[in-house]
Structure 1
């Protein structure tokens, strides 16, 4: 008989019932569907999900059910995960450095779009069917993101011109792609990239089939939902300005912004020291809180007692350590927690669907592996199941 996991009303209900002593991610399919619909109805082109943000099968299958039909993959493992969720999903392989075995896996999985940023990498794709698209990935010194992806991948505009010519001469469908960097909060970053894409096409004398504007769309970190539509409008206007009547089709590949808000992470307080100044959790930077180490403290965090009721005292900043024996297992200082916080309480971190379970390790025997499904996220008490 098929096992159907329990569906809980909210995280507080589950915590009060089970008092788990391990960190848990609470997943709301409803929220994920709402976010997917926002991209599908608002972005003026094809929406592909960046699997790296969260490859959990529940995420992939729910995105397929929501209407997402294309996925950005970076490895054969991600290809297999996508294929398990959908036998007909379209896959774009935009990690531009690949081994021979990885290239063959992409061919075997019928990847339809590939990217390159060096001539040597283009030569390695000789066996890729000429029916496929190859997008030249370029990079610019653009600010506005939490950190820059262009420091690792991306040709200069001058090299992109030559690569684009080569792609067309070798018989593939030529396209361009870029990535403005993660958690990018400035629409002008896309505008600058799109204008440069138009110039690259002019200099190369090549008409591209599609322009992939990447991911990087910001997720909610401070309690204020980002105005994604503002970015969609800026992208559409910039493409029309840069390409005129010869418009390429558009692609985006959201990861963080797609999945982040659909999950809340709950970690339990193991100990409190130094008159409440220092808190120890059962999760940390080697687990589901790794992204906080890189992105900084979130603007939303709640403390919930064992009965599911939120602690309501004024918050004060704390030093927070994870559970491992490594002293580096420490969040950026100043995490605000309610003053009446006690050992055994739970700290809830909303918006941790991206790069939490995907990057969690099992160092010291700790880690994030449990996912519970809920209807709502961010409830205020132990409502009925």
Structure 2
């Protein structure tokens, strides 16, 4: 008979008992499913999940259980990962640049929605069944995100109108899509894109079936948590204003904001130097902390002693290196840790579900591999009152 161990109550309890010497990601399925329901209840359209943010089977299974039935995939490997969890899941292939073999794989796996931003990419889809959705991806010089996706993908509005007309004339279901950029905290970015989408459709003389407003929804990194409901409301109002009574159905594809909050990453202090000004962790930019290099430091960090007791010293900005031999393995300077942090302690980074395990490498034999399920990500440590 197989005996399965119960989940740990929280990260502190697990760390105090197991004392892992490798970095660990703690997953709260309850938090993940609650986030999925938040999007489903608040967003005025279909909610899909951008698999690129975290393709772990536990993540896909929990989202499937929460009612997410459509997934934004960027490769055949991501398609297979989704199909392994739910063979009937709807696949939206929104990476607009594909090889012929990738197109064939998507067709074979029954992709329901494709995106393109160039004539040559539409030409590759000539064998895609008519009636499938093809969304023209466009880009604007709009600010408000941590970094812009428009430098890589997206047609200019004038070109997008021509492409949209070609999609409709080809017998596919015409749609438009955009992405405001990652960690977008300005609802005005969505409004600008939605208004442009209406102009593109009018210029093309095509009624679009759906408008995909992308991902880009901000995760909680520091300060107050983002007000996602306010963004959802602004999107709904903007679509009604721009399109009137003939408004298209909406889709969104959150990745970062869907999965970030469900995970906490625990890294261990390996050593201190320079009177504690320099700290070496067992994880860094080649592992689960790679996103901090591009997104900047998070303010949601706490430190626990090996027995689970919280360190409560006054915060001090530090210089943080990862465990590899590469001197580039270094976080942005200034991560504030308690003054009484010591070797052997655990540094817990909240909100680390996105682009952590998905981007971790095995360089120098290090990297983030372990995911442990917990009932919650906060809770009283063994020595907290």
Instruction: Give the TM-score band, short-chain normalised.
Output: over 0.9
- Counterpart for residue 288 of structure 1: 288
- Counterpart for residue 134 of structure 1: 134
Matches within 5 A, 1:1-385: 4=4, 6-382=6-382
Structure 1 pair 383/255, CA: closer, same or farther in 2 (3 Å)?
Answer: farther
Shift of 1:225: 1.6
| Count of residue pairs the alignment pairs up | 384
**CA displacement 1:87-114 (0-9 Å, x = unmatched):** 1110100000000110011011100000
Shift of 1:76: 0.3
Shift of 1:223: 4.4
Q: Are the counterparts in 1 of residues 310 and 383 from structure 2 also a CA contact under 8 Å?
A: no
- Superposition RMSD in Å: 1.1
Shift of 1:5: 5.3
> CA separation in 2, counterparts of 1:352 and 1:238?
31
* TM-score, scaled relative to structure 2: 0.98
Shift of 1:382: 2.8
> CA separation in 1, counterparts of 2:175 and 2:197?
10
Q: Are the counterparts in 2 of residues 113 and 134 from structure 1 also a CA contact under 8 Å?
A: yes
Q: Are the counterparts in 1 of residues 309 and 383 from structure 2 also a CA contact under 8 Å?
A: no
* TM-score, scaled relative to structure 1: 0.98
> CA separation in 2, counterparts of 1:200 and 1:67?
33
**CA displacement 1:95-152 (0-9 Å, x = unmatched):** 0000011001101110000000000000000111112100000000000000000000
**CA displacement 1:201-224 (0-9 Å, x = unmatched):** 110000000000000000000142
> CA separation in 1, counterparts of 2:170 and 2:219?
39
Gaps of 5+ in 1: none
Paired residue secondary structure (1:16): helix
> CA separation in 2, counterparts of 1:382 and 1:70?
41
> More deviation in 5-14 or 261-270?
5-14
Structure 1 pair 166/7, CA: closer, same or farther in 2 (3 Å)?
Answer: same
